[in-house]
Structure formats: C-alpha cells, structure tokens
A and B are shown apart, each in its own frame.
Chain A
Amino acid sequence: MQFSTAENAPTFPTVWRHKKVVKTSAPREQQFSNMATRNVHPIVRVNGIHKYFKRGSEKVDVLNDLTVSVPEGEFLGLMGPSGSGKTTLLNLIAGLDRPSSGEVWVGDNLISQMSESQLSAWRTRSIGFIFQFYHLLPVLSAYENVELPLLLLPLSKSQRREQVTTALDLVGLKDRMWHRPGQLSGGQQQRVGIARAIVTDPQLIVADEPTGDLDAKSAGEILNLLEEVRKILNKTIIMVTHDPRAAERADRVLHLDKGRLIEDIVKATTGSV
C-alpha cells in the first residue's frame, strides 16, 4: 500500500511506502551495528543556540551555546534533570519556539528564521508530534484524530482515507478506528498518537515523554513501535525521556544539564563523547 498525495501539492512527499512490519529478533547490538551503513547526512543541525527566558527583571538561561547534529534516520534520546533544557531544545527543533540566538536547521530549512505562519505550514508537512498525555481530541474517533493534520493539506477525502487507514494499520489499530479515545486504553491512545504523528509522512518525529503515562508493558510496546517506525519508514526520532529503559532503545542519548550538553552516548560503539 502506498500513501499518495494530490498532484498539485509538489512540496508534499509524494510516496510513502508502507512495508510490512516485521519484528526483528536480532540482538540490540546487532541492530545498532546497522547504524554505520545508514545515511548519516544530518537532518537536524542546531548551531550555537542560546535561549533565555525573562522572569520579571531576571534573565533565566535555559540553553547555553548548544550545538547538536542529528543524522537522518537516527533515534535520539534527550535526557536530563528537570530544568535542564531538553524540552526547550525539543520545542526549538520542532519549530514551536525560537532561540534567543543561534541557528536551527531541519533539512534545508532554517526554521529559526521562519515566520509564525511559515512555521505552521512547515510543521504540518515536516514534523510529527507524540505527546506524553496523548492529547487526542476526545470528541473525535481514532480515525478522525489521525486525519486532523491531513485536513491542512490539499488532499481529497479518499486520499486522506487511504493515508489514515494505512497509518492506523501500521500501529495495529485499524479495527478500532471508530473508537473514541475514551474507549481506548492508554497504550492504544498512544498508538493513535503515533499514527497521527506519521500520517503526513514527516521527516522528523519528536516525542515528549511518550511512555511517561504508561505502565511498563504498554511502554515497552510503544517503544517497540517507535523503533519499527524508525526502521521501516526511515524516520528520524527525537525523544525526550526520564526513563532509562526508554533511553536504552535510542541509538544515541544526549544528556543535558543546566542548558549544556554534558554527555553524548552513541549506543553502537558504547562510546562517550
């Protein structure tokens, strides 16, 4: 099955191949060894960003001269204590906030210079979001929730239907597409959230504590699903997490503290930079 789009929308990805999901039984070390063969062209480049907030007359530094590069197809974990700046970094990369100084590139787009409306349009096409508390609209069915971002694209109803059913099929919820969030378990709601994140075929998926509201079993399933999304669809995933078990699934983990990068752990080599 393919995801197709309107011919008059040349900037929208034209083909999204949905491969059959095959769960790998290979050891994690072996999986990570594939990293070397993947395209390592950076999709995200954060150059010397500085971000501060004003609290009254006080200036609070959140990020200090941070430089990060994320290769295409990487599963990156962001860890750190509360107030370390990881969510702020995620907001900057996702175009939800602007740095006080420095540059944020995603693909060929310098998003730190974009206007609000440019960012809105760019986010629809280029970023998929997964939230800790799912943030599904309770009045909409799973199908309608997943369809939401597609409403902003020039797609026909049948094209939207094809993409939504494919995304729901990928996350294993095609048979529950007409259920409302209240009729789904936490893990299922998060799967709908993942379907919503991938339905526009974005370059990059950002996840904010995606397992933070789930029990261990559901959290494991969601992490498996994220890994599959990354591998099968070759998506780049940036995930903020407090959970070491979640971070373990990432190819690379950045540790932040007080707005600075203090550790960059690449799992494939188990090295530390």
Chain B
Amino acid sequence: MKFLGLIVKNIGRNAIRSILTALGTMMLVFVVTLVWAILAFLNVALSEKNANFKAIITERWQIPSQMPYTYASTLCEGAATKPDDVRPMDSMTWQFYGGSIEKDRAKRGMNNVLFAFSLEPIKLLTMMDDLDNLPSATAAVFGKSVKALQDNRQGIILGRTRMETLKKKIGDTFTIYSMNYKDIDLEVTLVGEFPEGRYNNSAAINRDYLLAAMDAYQQKNGKPHAMANKSLNLVWLKVPDSATLGKITAQIESSPLFSNPQVKCETASSGIAAFIEPYRDLIWGMRYLLAPAILVTLSLVISNSISISVRERRSELAVLKVLGFRPNQILTLVLGEAILIGALSGLISSCLTYGIVNFPPPYGFGGIKFPIAFFAAFSIPLAALWWGPALGAGTALVGSFVPAWGARSVKVSEVFSRVG
C-alpha cells in the first residue's frame, strides 16, 4: 500500500498518454463485453441440464419450423396413445406472432415492432426458462399478470424494455399490425409485465386469441388463412430424465400422425443449436477470432504505453534501485501502473456498457440487437461488471510484463555522471 501513491503519481506523469491508454482499453473492453454477453447467453442456452429436461419438437426438415396446429394436442401428450406409453410432465406450444403498432409499413422500425410468443398463459409460469423458478415475491407479481392474460384473451404481457420502447403502460389498448400473419391484426390490451431480466424485450399473447382470429378470418373470407396449416412453430415438453426423453422421442418419431410434415424431438439445447446453426461460422469467428484479436490488441496498446513510460524514466528507475528498491519491487511498481490503468478503465467501461446497452431508448440501446434464432436482443449480464476489470487487469499484466522486466533489469550505473 505504501507504493500505491507512487504508482498513482506515475500514472499522472503523462496524463494525456494515460487517458488515451484508458480510453483505448475502455473501447476494447466494451467490444469484448458485447461479444462475450452474446456468447455467454448462447452457452447457457446450449448447455444440457441434468434433470427436468426440456425437449423441443420442431418440423424435421425446415427452418423455421411450421407445423399444423392439429399436431399440438397429440404432441403435448408425447404422442402417447396406449396406457403404458410415457407422457411428459408438462408441455407448451409456441406460435410466433410478429407485428408492429405502426400501420404504415414505411414507418416500421425497431421502436414500434414486437415479437410475441402466442401460448397458453399458464405455461409462462411452468415451462418458460427462468420464469419457472422466480423468487416468491416476483412470482406472485408475475402470477397476477399471467392471471390477467388468462382472463382477458385479448391481453398482452410485455417486457419492461419493450414496453418503454413502445411507450405503452399497463391498461393501454393498441393494435398490432401483423408482419407474418397477413391481415390478422390483433387489438390487444397491455395487462402485465415480464419480470426484469432476459424477457425485457419479449411479448406474450394468449394463443386462444390468435386461433380465434384465424377462425374469424376463415369465416369472413370463406377459406382458411395461408398460415392455418403451419402456425405451430414449436412444442416444448418437460421430462424428468434422459431415459424418459428417449422413450418419448421414439414415440413421437415413430408415430404415423406426424408424417407430413415430419417432426423431430430433441433436447432444448440441441433444438436451439439447430436454430443457431446458420450462424455457426459467425459465432465461431466471434469466439475464436474477434474476441482473442481484441484481447491481443488491448495487450499491445498497454504494452506500448508502458514501454514508452519505462524508456522515458530509466534513470529514475535506476535511482530507485540505488536508493534500495529491489528489482522485484520495481517490477511491481511498473506492473502496478499498468494493472491499475487496465482495471480501472475496464471497470468504468463495463459499468458504462451495462448501463448504456441495457437501458431502454432514449437512454440506452435496450439490449444488443443481434437477432439470431428466436433471440431478438441480448442483455449485458450482471457478471459483466467484473469482466471489465478482470479483462483490463489481465491484459495489462500480460502486455506490461516485458517492459516491466526491462525496468527491473535497469542498470544503476545509469544515474551517475560519466566522469570516470
């Protein structure tokens, strides 16, 4: 601690250089945090659970999956037809309904569109990741929203960010002009809000409302809607273990009921992986090229700055040696400067990134808009607050080690006059 003051003073020696180094570090930490936030989310989504598996049923040969809604009831039973067939613990159907609150197509943009899960409301509490294990107080509040959606089939639940982006509040009624169900525009009433977290940008509507709207379309036009036979996008099943999953998969895939189109049953992570497959090269590049390249660049930025600093004050370092500072103490002083700059600028960067990215417009971006699979946007996780300082300090340590070693090895004779 006695050396901390000396380290801080040395950082202030060339304020412009220190600030530029810090800004460079902050910028690079910002980019790495964005990349890691996406990768970390995908890692969680793709990791297999040990128990309470969720299986995902999709159309076998096509992405996006579009199955007839008539499949729903049988698939939700795991295609069990005989008394001794295995049944899932729970199930959920998803229909994706995308639209905008702006009627004029030319004016549609990120600030007026939404992407809703059309589902049986009660399944929000039992089948949705992270919503099925909420703290009791949060669960009670969210339970009221779900009850309201059950009671009012024209209801909609929005995430906080999406609600603020659309400038809507609980009780507001508005029309969603569909983008994927042509001519099926839904007038909805905002009845609740998702808990803070990964669903900040999401929306959920009651499936009965969408199905009724499609029936109404058929009655009005005398023919089924174009999406009538392909409105079921996903079916989720909850099973207790992998053995049960295997049996249910066999039941579904061997059933003659699902021959046109054929379906497949797999673990949720495998299912999500299939959705992400088209982005595989992009994600590989982010993970193994972009992020490492940024880290190397960050190390080089800090290395360059510290090298210049050491070169400028070789005689000062030699004086410290003459005064009795040991080589490792000098090494510590120089590493300390780099690590302090790296850690502080990393911390500032990660805090700013967390705030700017997660806050809704106009204060922030409302998440990273990187729409892959059915993930519309990614939030910066709270854990990112320590990624920044760790990244900054780690790269500073690596980058400054060589110049610090040079400082450690400086010759004491450099401080004496060359008078013989």
Q: A residues within 8 A CB of B3?
A: 151
Q: A135-B319, A139-B13 given as contacts; is B324 within 8 A of A124 (CB)? A: yes
A132 adjacent to B13 (CB under 8 Å): no
Shortest distance between the CB of B98 and any CB in chain A (Å): 60
Q: How many residues of B contact A (CB 8 A)?
A: 28
Instruction: Verify if A242 is at the interface (C-beta below 8 Å from B).
Output: yes
User: How distant is B315 from chain A, measured CB to nearest CB, in Å?
Assistant: 7
Interfacial chain B residues near A86, Cβ < 8 Å = 419-420
- CB <8 Å contact, B419 and A82: yes
Q: Which of A85, A133, A140 contacts B417 (CB 8 A)?
A: A133
Contact B316 A135 (CB under 8 A): yes
Contact B327 A152 (CB under 8 A): no
Q: Let me know if A137 is at the binding interface, CB within 8 A.
A: yes
- The answer to whether B420 and A80 have CB atoms under 8 Å apart is yes
Contacts of A80 in B (CB 8 A): 420
By a CB distance below 8 angstroms, the chain B residues around A82 are 418-420
Given known A-B contacts A80-B420, A81-B420, A139-B9, A120 and B415 have beta carbons under 8 A apart: no
Q: Report A-chain residues with C-beta under 8 Å of the C-beta of B329.
A: 152
Q: What residues on A are CB-neighbors of B9 within 8 Å?
A: 137, 139-140, 144
Closest chain A CB from B162 CB (angstroms): 51
- Pairwise interchain contact B323-A148, C-beta atoms closer than 8 A: yes
Chain B residues within an 8 Å CB radius of A140: 6, 9
> Which of A16-24, A90-98, A170-178, A244-252 lies at the interface?
A90-98
DSSP majority for the B interface? Answer: helix
Known A131-B319, A140-B9: A152·B417 in contact at CB below 8 Å = no
Write out the residue numbers on chain A whose beta carbons fall within 8 Å of the beta carbon of B419: 82, 86-87, 208-209, 212, 240, 242
Question: B323: which A residues are within 8 A, CB to CB?
Answer: 123-124, 129, 148-149, 152, 196
Interface residues of B in 1-52 (CB under 8 A from A): 2-3, 5-6, 9-10, 12-13
A117 interfacial by beta-carbon distance below 8 Å: yes
Interface residues on A, range: 35 or more
Q: Report yes or no: A151 in contact with B416, Cβ–Cβ below 8 A.
A: no
Shortest Cβ distance from residue B223 to the other chain A in the assembled complex, whole angstroms: 82
Q: In the assembled complex, which residues on chain A have CB atoms less than 8 Å from the CB atom of B315?
A: 135
Question: Contacts A137-B316, A139-B12; is A120 near B321 (CB within 8 Å)?
Answer: yes
- Are the C-beta atoms of B316 and A96 separated by less than 8 Å? no
Q: Mark B131-154, 1 if CB is under 8 A from A, else 0.
A: 000000000000000000000000
> Please, which residues of chain B bring their CB within 8 A of the CB of A88?
420
Q: Once bound together, how far apart are the Cα atoms of A215 and B198, in whole Å?
A: 73
| A84 within 8 A of partner (CB) | yes
B174 part of interface (Cβ distance < 8 Å): no
Q: Complex Cα distance A125/B420, Å?
A: 27
Question: Does B228 lie at the interface of the complex (its beta carbon under 8 Å from any beta carbon of A)?
Answer: no
Q: Which of chain A's residues have a CB closer than 8 A to the CB of B319?
A: 131, 135, 137
From residue A160, how far is it (CB to closest CB) to chain B in Å? 9
Query: Which of A83, A85, A151, A212 contacts B2, CB < 8 Å?
Result: A151
A123-B324, A139-B9, A139-B10 are contacts. A212–B413 as well, Cβ < 8 Å? no
| Interface residues, chain B, with chain A CB atoms under 8 Å away | 2-3, 5-6, 9-10, 12-13, 315-316, 319-327, 329, 412-413, 415-420
Can you report 13 A-B residue pairs in the complex whose CB atoms are below 8 A from each other? A87-B419, A87-B420, A91-B412, A91-B413, A96-B322, A96-B413, A117-B326, A132-B417, A139-B9, A139-B13, A148-B6, A149-B323, A208-B419
A149-B323, A151-B2 known; 17 new pairs, CB 8 Å cut-off, are: A83-B420, A90-B416, A94-B322, A97-B413, A116-B326, A116-B327, A117-B326, A123-B323, A132-B416, A133-B417, A137-B319, A139-B13, A144-B6, A152-B325, A208-B419, A212-B417, A240-B419
